Structure 1
């Protein structure tokens, strides 16, 4: 097996722009491109492999042919029917709607078996004084929230925060959120495309009509009274040649950043697949069968059967994977990290 590259799937959005072209030299189609689906296996967009012997095959076809070679010995059987992750880059040239996503149980029942949508954002770039909506004020209940929508004063009940490049936010299902203008984001999420809009800034859609809202469904799934989420700090682990920061560890994915100053070596061990997304700089990735370059704005899937690999260069990337959380916590405890340090990892 070898590292898999994919053709990006570009999505035109009313709030999109051309930042992916400017920042990463991506070859965009015409229009306002809001999303680049880097790795996807969803009915609304399926990635096609662009390199090696599997070139031209969709991700799910390759998985069904190669089985554990791609997904690994620890993969759940469900993953062979639906790949568990959806990896995106978002360009918010304008505000996204104020929205919320359901959990697995609600989505399965109300959205034809769809998964829920817990996600994580890494802010790649942000204009000065950039803001986003990150939750509902804890004192606001369902009745007040619904009334504020009807009375046109919803914004007073939302938590708005400033963000800058390098910020990380964890977005469990049920969290009200909105990316505002001038922000470029890497998004790691469950494989779902279900969004319930509650407010769209009184904006018209591309057809000149107000976009659909999903207020009733949103009210069903919003986690009212939840403590306000904070930006992710993560647990920093310094090693020779690189710094690893574990950001989020939840049942759906674990994410970490790797800041490589010289080199980073690891082994997939036939256990699980890994996703690498370049954020800054570039590195040469070497493995038993060859080597390739990973640049900022590129995303790779490392199959479980890849084995030992090494990244050499100066770069920063996001590494995403799925693993048993109890094992991760035990591993960190054995390395000597305190409970307070481990609590800096969101979702664990």
Structure 2
């Protein structure tokens, strides 16, 4: 956080998500985040997205009703000097896993560029918002395996015995590098920050059938080309240090070549204001994961609540933030 008082013309705006009704989803995003989306199940909300499979829509300010894709095409300067190509690099989601997700793997950028028509690969970060008592995730393999072993295990339905299961609880953090075999388990509520990609190669899907009555497609050949078949160590929680400022505490979560993520604990009343502005280097995204507050700036204000997502352009106006809230703060 900073107290610089420079102002420019670039104002933050609220986003409305795209939504997905994948068969493993539940109802918590409507029940607890007040999404008001007419889907059942509601598995994912793509809160900040320019991906063609589900772009988010601006829900406040002068661009209200336009897709984020449209706005950034017209205003590439909102991305900042770090992104001179004008391409938005991220996709930010909420995920409600009422049932187990498929066991899957994502390609890296090089493979996706060559084999998937120039698309991005997919590395991602999971922040656990809530988890049932026995919730877990799959993170890599228990021991080194050969491709032949994994193919045989997929064919005879024994893949699960090779996978490393990791118990999870609220506020856990995991970074899933491209190539890591993984899955979110039932009972997990997740915030996901990832590359701007929707490439997923399924290895196992519990023999489930889709809406068409057919088993969902597996992508074994592609998965075998990108999967890391070496054993994975238990994912370690990083050392997380809170830095306190008047009205807020800032906790660094993770940094990679694609994004940098913090958790902000806001406890700011009118007599204890928190001010912030994004520099000219890159945009920011604020994903509220609890509580509520208000962002005020010259010429406007945005009240925000649990589940809301705010896009802050690079070189933004100075914002005054008040309220009692938690949010993930993402720098692209």
CA contact (8 A) 2:80 2:314 kept: yes
Larger displacement relative to structure 2 (14-23 or 309-318): 309-318
**Displacement, 1:60?**
2.3
Determine the structure 1 residue equivalent to 2:264. 258
2:129 pairs with 1:124: yes
Q: Is the 8 A contact 1:287 1:309 kept in 2?
A: yes
Query: Could you tell me how far 1:217 is from its partner in structure 2?
Result: 0.5
Aligned to 1:335: none
**2-structure distance, mates of 1:292, 1:62:** 18
- 2:48 corresponding residue in structure 1: 39
Q: Which residue of the other structure, out of 54, 70, 81, is the alignment partner of 1:61?
A: 70
For structure 1, the 5+ residue unaligned runs are 323-348
Is the 2:13–2:302 contact (alpha carbons within 8 Å) kept by the matching residues of 1? no
Q: 2-side partners of 1:180 and 1:254: how far apart?
A: 25
Structure 2, unaligned runs of 5 or more:
1-9
Q: Does 1:321 align with 2:326?
A: no
- 1:74-85 aligned at under 5 Å gives the runs 74-77=82-85, 80=86, 82-85=87-90
What does 1:1-348 correspond to in 2, within 5 Å? 1-68=10-77, 70-77=78-85, 80=86, 82-225=87-230, 227-240=232-245, 241-262=247-268, 264-322=274-332
What is the deviation of 1:33? 1.2
Greater relative contact order, per chain length (Cα 8 Å cut-off, separation 6+): 2
Q: Match of 2:32, SS?
A: helix
**Residue deviations 1:149-169, cap 9 Å, x none?**
223211111010111111111
Shift of 1:24: 0.9
Q: How many residues align?
A: 318
TM-score by length of 1: 0.87
**Secondary structure at the counterpart of residue 181 of structure 1:** coil
Identify which range, 29-38 or 59-68, moves more after superposition: 59-68
Higher helix share: 1
Q: How high is the TM-score relative to the length of structure 2?
A: 0.91
Aligned match of 1:339: none
